[in-house]
Chains A and B, each alone.
Chain A
Amino acid sequence: MLDFDWNLLLEIDWVEIGEATLDTLTMLGVSMLFTVLAGLPLGVLLFVSAPGQLRARPRLYAVLSFLVNVLRSLPFVILLIVLMPFTLLLVGTSIGVAGAIVPLVVGAVPFFARLVENVLREVDRGVIEASQSMGARLPHIVFKVLLPESLPGLIGAATVTAVALVGYTAMSGVIGGGGLGDLAIRYGYQRFQTEIMIVTVVLLLALVQGLQSAGDSLVRRCRFD
């Protein structure tokens, strides 16, 4: 590492790196979209159905909670492989970028939903009670109280989830998912092309940094003071 030859950088196939970057961004963007679409309602459902909450359904909660825990306890690589038949059924292929998106979403949804549940628990009980005293129905409470009041927390949860997804995409190389992480493993680790590994790691780091600061600045902008 110390006697790293900087000229090697010139020999890197930047087109391949560009494609890998695009793959990573695609996987991240699409899976993040579906994660929020599925995870937010699931998180709300977990919150309202928990014992002692607005629509306490202890049985339903126990089942959902167990499923979430199961999915969260599986290592992502296992999830990738286990889900292959399901992915094939759903999107017509179980490999490549398209094939990676399904396991990414399945892995991230329970993670995000649990974060959402915890964020919603932070909403002041007094405020929920005040809206009940004004005759609010459950949909009112969800859309006019819970979600707006916890917006900064929800954005924070989405940021954490997006960063975790960046990590997951790296593993999708196992099923030929492509992307930067895949590149780092194939060239850097397996073929000892350190320069490619360094470049991809720097790019991944920049991506994570970018996501985090974008999330933080959004949170700052919508804090309520």
Chain B
Amino acid sequence: MIEVQNISKHYQHGGKSVAALDNVSLQIASGEIYGIIGRSGAGKSTLIRCLNLLERPDSGHVSLHGEDITRFDERALQQRRQRIGMVFQHFNLLRSRTVAANVRFPLELAGGLSPAQMDARVDELLALVGLQDHKHKRPSQLSGGQKQRVGIARALANHPDLLLCDEATSALDPETTDAILALLADINRQLGLTIVLITHDMRVIRQLCDSVAVLDHGRVVEQGKVLDVFLAPQHAVTQSLLAETGMGQGALQGIWRQRVATPVIKLTFVGEPTLQPVLDKVGREAGLRVNLLSGTLSEIKDTPFGQLLAGVVASDVDVSALPAIFAREGVRCEVL
């Protein structure tokens, strides 16, 4: 369990003090993938860098498994950092070292392994990220995706209990991004490793994360399970981030509400009902005929979900009775 308690961080900018983080608190459960999303300048990097104290907050505490690392002295902190992996947007590999030697670097820092043991561990890690065949290359000879795999292998070298990813896929093309995200999901599953990742892309959150925090102007404006936040976004920033990725309906709802004379209902399917012909069934039973206005069918992490906006053209029952009927089928219905 990672606990961030009331951390604030200010920067001096042109004589003025700007709050990069303003009283941020988070709780991250062990073994989960926790996403932090926000617009550029929201304070995401500052926040993730506070988790290993690359950045010292002005106030507040950061506890990893009950240990308050803000109280550690320099030495203890350096020791602790060896077991916190960090992956960077621009990879930050050592140009002077081969792939294998880059992965070996954190093992050298930690000490305690013989050269042969280090080599064995390097091979293990390269196999994990699928780079066995590139062992002797230099970073300059690798593609972006391969560089990030080296970055991930390096971050995992000392068996970390926490992996921090600052926009790990922002410099990669969509296909490579998917492959790297799949690798991270795999690592999370195989090693039970807690992952905190930063992104400005809701798709990354949807594909990978269990929980999410939305950051805006240094404040957490929304947090919770990804499913809940996606299906019922509360804050305007969340809604607009979702809308940009074609996953939000907040804006659409208003438009349809004005244009369509008939009552409008919003149906939300999560999990099993998504795969059932619920609308058809209820349509027959309640004589419900609808005009579909918009819809999303997708997956959040591994859970299928759908959302439909529909105008009620005809119905044997009163519209206000529809939520109860849909609820029997496991579908949430709201009359807008």
Show the binding face of A for B, using Cβ within 8 Å: 124, 126-127, 129-137, 140, 144-145, 148-149, 151, 224-225
Contact = CB atoms under 8 A, between A and B. Distances in A.
Q: Which of A124, A135, A145 has the most CB of B within 10 A?
A: A135
A144 B92 contact: no
B78 A149 contact: no
Given A131-B105, A134-B109, A144-B108, A149 B92 contact: no
Contact of B81 (A126, A127, A134, A148): A134
Contacts of A133: 52, 54, 81, 84, 86, 164
Interface residues of B, number: 29
A124 B94 CA distance: 9
Given A126-B90, A132-B54, A149-B96, A225 B141 contact: yes
Contact of A135 (B79, B95, B140, B141): B79
A148 B92 CA distance: 15
Contacts of A149: 94-96
B297 interface: no
A135 B92 contact: no
- Main secondary structure on A side of the interface with B: helix
B80 interface: yes
A129 to B, nearest CB: 6
Contacts of A130: 86, 88, 92-93
A132 B56 CA distance: 13
* Interface hub of B88, B96, B110 (most chain A Cβ within 10 A): B96
A135 B90 contact: no
B88 to A, nearest CB: 6
Contact of A126 (B88, B96, B140, B164): B88
Given A135-B81, A144-B105, 19 more contacts: A127-B92, A129-B54, A130-B93, A131-B105, A132-B54, A133-B52, A133-B54, A133-B86, A134-B105, A134-B106, A134-B154, A134-B158, A135-B78, A135-B79, A136-B78, A144-B109, A149-B95, A224-B138, A224-B139
Contact of B109 (A129, A136, A151): A136
Contact of A224 (B82, B88, B95, B158): B95
Contacts of A127: 92-95
Contacts of B82: 134-135
A97 B7 CA distance: 64
13 contacts: A126-B92, A127-B94, A132-B54, A133-B54, A134-B86, A134-B154, A135-B78, A135-B110, A148-B97, A149-B94, A224-B95, A224-B96, A225-B138
A133 B79 CA distance: 10
6 tightest CB-CB pairs across the interface, nearest first? A130-B92, A135-B81, A135-B82, A133-B86, A126-B92, A224-B95
Contacts of B154: 134
A131 B94 CA distance: 9
Main SS at interface, chain B: mixed
Interface string B163-176: 01000000000000
A148 B96 contact: yes
B52 to A, nearest CB: 6
A151 B96 contact: yes
A145 B78 contact: no
Nearest to B83: A135
Given A134-B82, A135-B80, A135-B82, A225 B88 contact: no
B164 to A, nearest CB: 8
A140 B75 CA distance: 13
Contacts of A132: 54, 81
Given A224-B138, A224-B140, A145 B94 contact: yes
Question: Which of A126, A134, A148 has the most C-beta atoms of chain B within 10 angstroms of its own C-beta?
Answer: A134
Most A CB atoms within 10 A — which of B106, B139, B140?
Answer: B106
A135 B154 CA distance: 13
Contacts of A131: 105, 109
A155 to B, nearest CB: 13
B322 to A, nearest CB: 54
A148 B80 contact: no
A160 B110 CA distance: 37
A137 B78 contact: yes
Contacts of A135: 78-82, 106, 109-110
A218 to B, nearest CB: 14
Contacts of A151: 96
Interface string B38-65: 0000000000000010100000000000
A98 B284 CA distance: 107
Contacts of B105: 131, 134, 144
Nearest to A124: B92
Contacts of A145: 94
B226 to A, nearest CB: 26
